[in-house]
Chains A and B, each alone.
Chain A
Amino acid sequence: MDQVETTTPDAPAAESGGSGKLKTIALALIALGGVLSLLAYMDEGGKTRFGFAYLLGFLFCWAIVLGSLFFVALQHVTNSVWSVVVRRVAEMLAAPIWVLALLFIPLLAFALLNKDFGIFPWMRAEKDALINHKAPYLNDTFFLIRTVAFFVIWIAFAFFFVRGSVRQDEGGEGRVKGTKRMRNVSGPFLIIFGLTATFAAFDWVMSLEPHWFSTIYGVYVFSGMFLSALAAITIAVLYLRQNGTLGFVNANHLYSLGGLLFAFTCFWAYIAFSQFMLIWYGNLPEETVYYVKRIKNGWMPITLAVVFLRFILPFFLLLARGAKMDPKRLMGVSVLVLVGQLVDLYWLVMPAQGDGPVLGWQELGPTALFTGVLLLYVGVFLGKHKAVAAGDPLFEKSRDFHL
């Protein structure tokens, strides 16, 4: 087959231009989000509202980062060739998990110090019988231990995978060994990931409404998480492809990314409907309360928006074969998926406040701030490291990948 005339990129992306603009956007977002967050926090009556907004912004970035770590491990465990050219982008998005650990500290402090108007009702002094029954799991100490454990585990594995890949850039004999080591660790990690991501979803999101429970909830949060990570990876790949850094990413690679986006769009619908239908069919008040809250009080438009943004629109926009290879279409759908993720998280988190939907600048501050922080990290990463895992033994094979 024809040899593709491409050179292996040796320089970090920053030197070939492109990350300067990224940093400007990042700093603008940080400034804007910071000011809005500060104003929202200073607002006397709005502490709880700010707490929820903070959680929303945190979860949005957390999903992208942890989902990217899952993507990296998934490519290792399946021994994928096609994804080697885009894996560094996922690694770059997975690396800042320690930043998110830092960002979680204020939320934790806020929740623990403001128990009576904090965001987790089970932390309050007055507990009803149901919450007392769940107290062996839902108590401050155990919550703290779990949160620390989650982050320690994620940071350790993110460090392992990113470091291992970056080390291969230097070349040398150890590259094959490094890949093999990552392959071996990826399998056990995926099991640990499944458990930690599920319990993190229970702890940080489901426990906002501690009376309610759903065993599929962790999978639901995971499906949205992986979708948003895929969308973020796709956007970053398309951006770096356009400025030439990842110029060798061809239609076959894009098709694989688009195919994953499409598949997990269906996966989300499957999981979301499974959760809804069983609760609707069983019709038990202790379970239906969750959906009743999200249908009444003006929440119905948001519920429908989630269904459209998460499933119906991306499904039909990506259905055709050509659509999964078209950079413009992929970019549009990826942005749509990220918007859908934000609306979905809003739908998961905000009804716990009790009233109808509220949306103002107070809700958007932390999301803008944390997205800015994430972008800034990506800009710094691109300045220090290559934008592609060119040291991976499978790199050449991946570059010439054909479906």
Chain B
Amino acid sequence: MSNAAAPEATRLVGMIGFRDDPDGIITAAETVRDEGYEKWDCHTPYPVHGLDAAMGLKDTPMAYICLIAGGIGAGAAMLMQWWMSVVDYPVRIGGKPLFSWPAFVPITFEFFVLFAALATMGGLFVLCKLGRWHSPLHDTGVMEQVTSRRFGVVLQADDEKFTEDGAKALLEKAGCVDIQPLIEFVEEEA
């Protein structure tokens, strides 16, 4: 959003602080985690090993999504082939039974993989909250920094523990520099 159209109002959405190296972001994350914040996030230019544990993130449900979808795919494939070759268009091939399951295994396997892969991709989109059109971070210059060289910790204003001074103090305690409020421009409704 450009500044040309003068905004009518602003809203504080959070507080950001930076660290300059991956080891720093780990200690910073541990500090914030131990403080009991719930709505906060780390932004890094590349995946940092060990950050999940330092942030206290719970295990992802992705494995279950993948397994269940794969199971549904395999079941559907077996059912489809049974229906085709036993019910809808029975043809006796090579003197084998109509329901010759070994011949169906390759398709069943492929369906397992297909369903599991698509569900994993879709599940990832949902769990990452992709499809959200806008993030307040985009209005500030920080996105450019945390995608190229710096490591940012963002405390969201809608967390129960959030106060402007408290957040600032916590980020300082976490060893962050360049601490700044994240401001969102709100166009007032007519």
Chain A positions within 8 Å of B, measured between CB atoms, are 1, 273, 276-277, 280-281, 283, 319-321, 402-403
B111 → A minimal CB distance (Å): 16
Mostly helix, strand, loop or mixed at chain B's interface? helix
A1 → B minimal CB distance (Å): 6
Known contacts A276-B102, A321-B63; 19 additional CB pairs below 8 A are A1-B23, A1-B26, A1-B50, A273-B105, A277-B102, A277-B103, A277-B105, A277-B106, A280-B102, A281-B94, A281-B102, A283-B94, A283-B95, A283-B96, A319-B67, A320-B63, A321-B59, A402-B49, A402-B50
Taking CB atoms, residues of chain B closer than 8 Å to A320 are 63
Taking CB atoms, residues of chain A closer than 8 Å to B26 are 1
Q: List 11 A-B contacts (CB under 8 A).
A: A1-B23, A1-B49, A273-B105, A276-B102, A277-B102, A280-B102, A281-B94, A283-B96, A319-B67, A321-B59, A321-B63
Residue of chain A at shortest CB distance from B60: A321
Residue of chain A at shortest CB distance from B93: A281
Taking CB atoms, residues of chain B closer than 8 Å to A276 are 102
Residue of chain B at shortest CB distance from A402: B49
Taking CB atoms, residues of chain A closer than 8 Å to B49 are 1, 402-403
Chain B, residues 100-124, CB within 8 Å of chain A (1/0): the string is 0011011000000000000000000
Contacts A1-B50, A321-B63, A402-B50 given; does A281 touch B23 at CB 8 Å = no
B113 → A minimal CB distance (Å): 11
Taking CB atoms, residues of chain B closer than 8 Å to A319 are 67
Measured in the bound complex, the distance between the Cα atoms of B97 and A283 in whole Å is: 13
Measured in the bound complex, the distance between the Cα atoms of B101 and A276 in whole Å is: 13
B51 → A minimal CB distance (Å): 10
Measured in the bound complex, the distance between the Cα atoms of B96 and A283 in whole Å is: 10
A55 → B minimal CB distance (Å): 30
Taking CB atoms, residues of chain A closer than 8 Å to B96 are 283
Measured in the bound complex, the distance between the Cα atoms of B102 and A394 in whole Å is: 47
**Cross-chain contact A281 with B105 (CB below 8 angstroms):** no
B117 → A minimal CB distance (Å): 15
Taking CB atoms, residues of chain B closer than 8 Å to A273 are 105
Residue of chain B at shortest CB distance from A280: B102
Measured in the bound complex, the distance between the Cα atoms of B26 and A402 in whole Å is: 14
Measured in the bound complex, the distance between the Cα atoms of B102 and A276 in whole Å is: 9
Taking CB atoms, residues of chain A closer than 8 Å to B23 are 1
Measured in the bound complex, the distance between the Cα atoms of B116 and A319 in whole Å is: 14
B5 → A minimal CB distance (Å): 46
Chain B, residues 1-42, CB within 8 Å of chain A (1/0): the string is 000000000000000000000110010000000000000000
B57 → A minimal CB distance (Å): 14
Measured in the bound complex, the distance between the Cα atoms of B63 and A320 in whole Å is: 8
Taking CB atoms, residues of chain A closer than 8 Å to B102 are 276-277, 280-281
Residue of chain B at shortest CB distance from A252: B49
A2 → B minimal CB distance (Å): 9
Taking CB atoms, residues of chain B closer than 8 Å to A281 are 94, 102-103
Measured in the bound complex, the distance between the Cα atoms of B96 and A344 in whole Å is: 28
Taking CB atoms, residues of chain B closer than 8 Å to A1 are 22-23, 26, 49-50
Measured in the bound complex, the distance between the Cα atoms of B106 and A319 in whole Å is: 21
Taking CB atoms, residues of chain A closer than 8 Å to B63 are 320-321
B66 → A minimal CB distance (Å): 11
Measured in the bound complex, the distance between the Cα atoms of B59 and A277 in whole Å is: 39
Sorted nearest first, the 8 A-B pairs with minimum C-beta distance are A402-B49, A277-B102, A280-B102, A283-B94, A1-B23, A1-B50, A402-B50, A281-B103
Measured in the bound complex, the distance between the Cα atoms of B103 and A280 in whole Å is: 9
Measured in the bound complex, the distance between the Cα atoms of B54 and A402 in whole Å is: 14
